[in-house]
Amino acid sequence: MNSINRRSALLAGLAVAGTGALAACGGSGSTPALVSPDSKVVATTERKRKGSGKVREVTLTAAPAVLDLGGKVTAKSWAYGGRTPGKEIRLAAGDTLAAELSNQLPDRTTTSVHWHGIALRADMDGVPPATQNAVRAGRNFTYRFLADTPGTYFFHPHVGVQLDRGLHAPLIVEDPREPLSYDDEWVVVLDDWLDGVTGTPDQVLAELSHGMGDMGGMDMGDMDGMDMSGGDTGKGGGKTSSGSMKFMLMGARSSLLGGDAGDVKYPYHLVNGRMPSDPDVYTGKPGKRVRLRIVNAGGDTAYRVALGGHKLTITHTDGFPVAHQQVDALLVGMGERYDVLVTLADGVFPLVALAEGKDASGLALVRTGSGAAPRATVRPKELDGMIMNAAGLKAADDVRLDTRRTDRVHRIELTGGMAGYDWGINGRRYDMKHPTADPVLVEQGQRVRLDFVNKTDMWHPMHLHGHTYQLGTGGPRKDTTIVLPGRTVSVYFDADNPGQWMLHCHNAYHGEAGMMALLAYEA
């Protein structure tokens, strides 16, 4: 059960090979007319959603903030309402959310809000320049949409690499007819952190964008002898005087992720905005059943999550129910969410988010009785037990897609690499200046299959906006899924939400570098 072979077997489902005729992703010909995000058909689709008539109004102020990360560590960053994660938004399925974004960011910085995982109306998806103009500094924009699907979601900007600052928060859509039985909830947000400590995400992207092909004149074969400690903690990016890289992480390896685990060197890993030395604490009572809603809001880190002394029963992933599965630990990629049930024992227990392949971790505590808190570096045995991710899960019967003919198939090759930092889809980097060039085309009502073919040496969490897809013919319903290097993952979805939607790697730096495409409905 604890062997690498056992863990590999659980991940084998990630290699779901596609079959059948393939349609190219875009092409060199002229692009047909597309359904625009503000078209009548988008509004018509929104009116067909079943609503409660209730409106939840909130204000989101994106502004500079000095954030207390615990352990006497503060960071100058950007956040919603002066905290990270931002204040949770909670509403019932069928309610309308009216969220006014106030952009108070410095230096004429534009921003937006993307409602990650929500199948909402296209003009409210928050993706400049595809679905809206970016919100200028000093301006406001109100996002208004009906949230009709219960689940665990979150929201964050979709401009540059702002996701890797403090600008994110949970969004919980409750089921008025909740079928699960439990006593309490705990929302757990995981995050990798460097902003305002060793630099900024923009500086990270600038350094990474140089790639590894040159590395200051050194041959790639010399990297093993290089200093990658990043001892300089000033604000500038790029190489240090010793030839080392300040932000680029070398040697991060994970068998669960198929090799290279990540690009970026983070000084801290946070759970609910707190460092392991001063963790967030959930206080409960022995014997109580608690629902954990786990969100990976990180920029470059997958987390292996376990609660010491407990088993976890997986009930949902990315908002959709699965056949219940009891496990020791979860592997959660960036952008993924998992709901689990746990019956609390008596004592003090560590909830550990191991930064997969990075020799670091985040920590929170569950306290139900007396006892000393464990060390910040605690590693419960459950982390090496039965580890599960979406590949080993099955969709619950009531959300499994019905069996029907596939109308359109797209081969989505994940391309590029660290040498040139030229991440792309089908050999092309997404061009923000020409957002509708070479779209992945679908038509209203079609059953669509996407074959994610990973041609790179790294893993990628692939996220589709505005829809959920099913892994294979019976796997879970998802909007974000891990694609291992050298593997193919086939997913299916029904084209039932017209508009223009992003399809991209949810590694913040891979996506911004170009591993992104537009999935668009033909008019």
Per-residue pLDDT of the chain in tens (523 residues, 90 and over written 9) = 333 333 333 443 443 333 333 343 444 456 789 999 999 999 999 999 999 999 999 999 999 999 999 999 999 999 999 999 999 999 999 999 999 999 999 999 999 999 999 999 999 999 999 999 999 999 999 999 999 999 999 999 999 999 999 999 999 999 999 999 999 999 999 999 999 999 999 999 999 999 986 554 333 333 333 333 333 333 334 444 334 689 999 999 999 999 999 999 999 999 999 999 999 999 999 999 999 999 999 999 999 999 999 999 999 999 999 999 999 999 999 999 999 999 999 999 999 999 999 999 999 999 999 999 999 999 999 999 999 999 999 999 999 999 999 999 999 999 999 999 999 999 999 999 999 999 999 999 999 999 999 999 999 999 999 999 999 999 999 999 999 999 999 999 999 999 999 999 999 999 999 999 999 999 9
In the chain, helix, strand, coil percent, each to 5?
Answer: 10, 40, 50
Bridge-based pairing state of the strands 268-271 and 337-343: unpaired
* pTM for this model (two decimals): 0.90
Kindly give, in sequence order, each residue whose CB lies less than 8 Å from that of residue 7, ignoring residues fewer than 6 positions away: 255, 256, 387
CA distance 191 to 254: 19
Cβ distance 423 to 515 under 8 Å? yes
- E strands, 297-403, are 303-307, 312-317, 320-327, 329-332, 337-343, 348-355, 360-367, 387-388
Residue 270 confidence (pLDDT): 98
Place of tokens 């928060």: 169
Cβ distance 137 to 109 under 8 Å? yes
Cβ distance 477 to 389 under 8 Å? no
Q: What is the DSSP letter of 95?
A: P
42 by DSSP, 3-state: which?
helix
Distances (CA, A) of 99 to 95, 132, 141: 12, 15, 8
CA distance 456 to 463: 17
CA distance 499 to 36: 6
Closest CA to 233 of 242, 216, 249, 246: 246
Closest CA to 415 of 269, 522, 515, 305: 515
Residue 461 confidence (pLDDT): 98
Residue 239 confidence (pLDDT): 46
Residue 245 confidence (pLDDT): 84
Buried residues in 327-347 as b, exposed as e (16+ CB within 10 A): bbbbbbbbbbbbbbbbebbee
Residue 346 confidence (pLDDT): 97
Cβ distance 408 to 448 under 8 Å? yes
Residue 28 confidence (pLDDT): 43
Residue 215 confidence (pLDDT): 53
Residue 37: is the preceding peptide bond cis (ω within 30°)? no
Residue 244 confidence (pLDDT): 65
Kindly give, in sequence order, each residue whose CB lies less than 8 Å from that of residue 10, ignoring residues fewer than 6 positions away: 386, 387, 388, 389, 391, 392
CA distance 172 to 185: 11
